[in-house]
Structure formats: structure tokens, C-alpha cells
Structure 1
Amino acid sequence: MAEDADVVSKENQNEPSKAKSELEVLKEQILQAQSLAEERLESLKRCRADLDNLMKRSAREKEETVKYASEKLICKLLPVLDSLDQAAKHDEGIKVLYQQLLDILKTEGLVPMDEIGKKFDPYRHEALCSIKSESLEEGTVAEVIQKGYLFNSHVIRFCKVAVAKR
């Protein structure tokens, strides 16, 4: 019986160290689980940010595609607009039709450039010839031979001009 008491006593002494050991293992497992949870949360946040960026980029690309399609159509209509402009100088009915078409195209972002008297700008003008002029400063647009147009604030057709010289 004394031997049994010694064995129980030794087991009781081992039990606190065994409990401490198990506690350390559990603490380590908790730390690992927390670390894994944090990693996965960060990964989830990155995935969410990537998705948000993709959605924004897709929306921008869609907008650009629509804008480009409109620009392409308007470029095809420019020769018709030129013909109507010329005809409008001779016939009042054509003038009304020309103005209606121009108003519609303006709502889509088309703006004709009014360049007479402005300084020649190679980013907006295509010089076809020069004209002697005493009234205009040299290097300014003296005459517009063919109108230029802006679409959504960028040049889609250069203004064909005659430039003043002395």
C-alpha cells in the first residue's frame, strides 16, 4: 500500500508538469490558428481589392469602347456634314437640316473648331497654303478651307487652313 501511495504521489507530481506541457501545446495551436486566420483575412482583403480594381477597370474600358464607337460613327458622318454645310450656304431648307444634324452631334460631344484669326497650331491645324494679309498677324489662320472638329475635347479632324503671311 505504501508503494501505491508513492506511485500516486509521483503521478500527482507529474500531472502538473503534464498539464503545463499540454497547456503550452494548446497555446501554440491557438497561436498557429490565429496566424492562419490573419493570413487568410489578409488574402481575402487582397482578393476583394483586386475584384474592386477589376470592376473599376472594366467600367472604364466599357466607357472607352462606347466613346470610341461614337467617335468612329461621327467620323463617318463628317463628309455628310461638310456637304450639308456647303449646301446650307445656298438653300434655307438645307441650312435648317444642317443645323439640326449639327445640334444632334454636339449633344454627342462633337464641336466644330472656329479657328479664323487664331494663331496657327500644328496640333489643331493643317496648313494647305498661305495668303498675303495686311490685316492679320503673320502665322494666324486667315481662312478655313475645311472645318476641323473636336470630339470629347480631342481633335478628330484637323482644321484645313490658309495661314496669313506678310
Structure 2
Amino acid sequence: MADELSEKSVEGTEEDGESAPAEGTTEGVPVDEVAKLRQELEDVKRIADERLEQLLRCRAELDNVIKRNSREREELARFASEAIIKKLLVFLDSLEQAAKHDEGAKALYDQLLDIMRSEGLEPIDAVGKKFDPFVHEAMMQVESQEAEDGIVVQEFQKGYTLHSRVIRTSKVAVAKHG
């Protein structure tokens, strides 16, 4: 029965005018050609994979640049008022001194401080706190039996932060045991 099938298939191909593939070929294409095409296909796939990897890295880098740029713009907007606020601190200091003696000046001081707080300005709490060189500037040390070493006992000039960033340190006197 197998002989009949093989005779029919050989006869069928001869009748159609097509010959059976020669030995050493695949569907009429030489084996060397098939191997060459497979190698080219593998090379093209490898190159495509490399390009895809490069594309993904570039996309990730672009996303990082966009995020960094956005953060920088936000920070720039948050601190755009820093220069004018620093200039107004001198006026705020004078108004604070006047407020100690005049109710009208106190009202103006409170009003200006509220406006500046709405822009992110906060006074640094100094007296009674442990000395912190990041927010305090020691102008002098004072011998004290009441306060512990390193505690701020007097403030000469108020310090401020803008959005949690120190824009002026508090000028202070720090306790030391004698």
C-alpha cells in the first residue's frame, strides 16, 4: 500500500509538470540557501531586539528628563519669591521692633507676617531650643546655671525658612556651663 502511494505521488508530480525536490534541498531551495536565510533571519531578529532595547532605554531616559524638568520648574516657581522676601525681611525686622512699642505697628507686623506666611515663610523657633548650626548662628556663648549646655538662651535676629528651606539663620546666644 505504501508503494502505491509513493507511485501515485511521483506520478502526480510528473503529470503536473513539476518534479520532486532534489536530494539536499528543502522544497526546491538548496540547503545552503536555507541555512543562509535562517542566519540572516537570526541576525535581523538580533538587530531588531537591540534596537528595541535602545528605544526602551531612550524612552526611559526621556521620561526621567521630563520628570526632572517638571520638578525643577515647580521648585523655581516655589522659590521665585525668595529674593523679594529676603529684601522684605529687613522691613519685617524693623516692624517687629516697632510692634513692641506701638499697637498700630503690631497690627501691621502681624498682617505682613500673615502675607509672607501665605507665601511659605515661617519664623524659626530659637529660644529654648537645642542649638542647630543649620538654622542658628551662634553670635556668643553665655554662662548659665539655668539652661543646659547648647541651649539657645537669647535671639538677636529672627531666622526664617521658606518652604522648609532656611533663607536666614537665627542669630543667637548659646548657653554654656561655667
In which range does the TM-score fall when normalised by the shorter chain? 0.7 to 0.9
Which amino acid is 2:102 matched to?
D
SS at match of 2:25: helix
109, 119, 125: which one pairs with 2:136? 125
Verify: 1:81 aligned to 2:92, yes or no: yes
Q: Distance in 2 between matches of 1:150 and 1:12?
A: 87
Unaligned runs of 5+ in 1: 1-10
Q: Which has the larger radius of gyration?
A: 2
Q: Hey, what's the Cα distance between the residues in 1 that align with 2:122 and 2:54?
A: 48
Residue 92 of structure 2 is aligned to residue 69 of structure 1:
no
Normalized per residue, which structure has more helix?
1
- Tell me, in whole angstroms, the C-alpha distance in 1 between the residues paired with 2:48 and 2:114: 60
Unaligned runs of 5+ in 2: 1-19
Aligned counterparts of 2:88 and 2:129: Cα–Cα separation in 1: 26
Match of 2:71 in 1: 60
Alpha-carbon shift at residue 48 of structure 1 (Å): 0.5
Specify whether residues 159 and 12 from structure 1 end up closer, same or farther in structure 2 by C-alpha distance, changes over 3 A only: closer
- Provide the C-alpha distance between the structure 2 equivalents of 1:126 and 1:33, rounded to a whole number of angstroms: 66
Q: TM-score, with normalisation over the residues of structure 2?
A: 0.73
Paired residue for 1:163?
A: 174
Deviates more, 1:12-21 or 1:101-110: 12-21
TM-score by length of 1: 0.77
Q: Which amino acid aligns with 1:19?
A: V
Q: CA deviation at 1:134?
A: 4.5
**Paired residue total:** 158
User: Which residue identity is paired with 1:13?
Assistant: A
Question: Offset at 1:49?
Answer: 0.8
- Matched with 1:48 is 59
Distance 1:138 1:40 in 2: 64
Aligned AA for 1:66? A
* Paired residues for 1:74-113 under 5 Å: 74-113=85-124
Query: Which of 136, 141, 144 is equivalent to 2:152?
Result: 141
Q: Tell me, what secondary structure is at the counterpart of 2:80?
A: helix
Change (3 A) 1:116 1:37: same
Mark the CA change 1:19 to 1:132 in structure 2 (over 3 Å): closer, same or farther: closer
Deviation at 1:131, TM superposition (A): 4.4
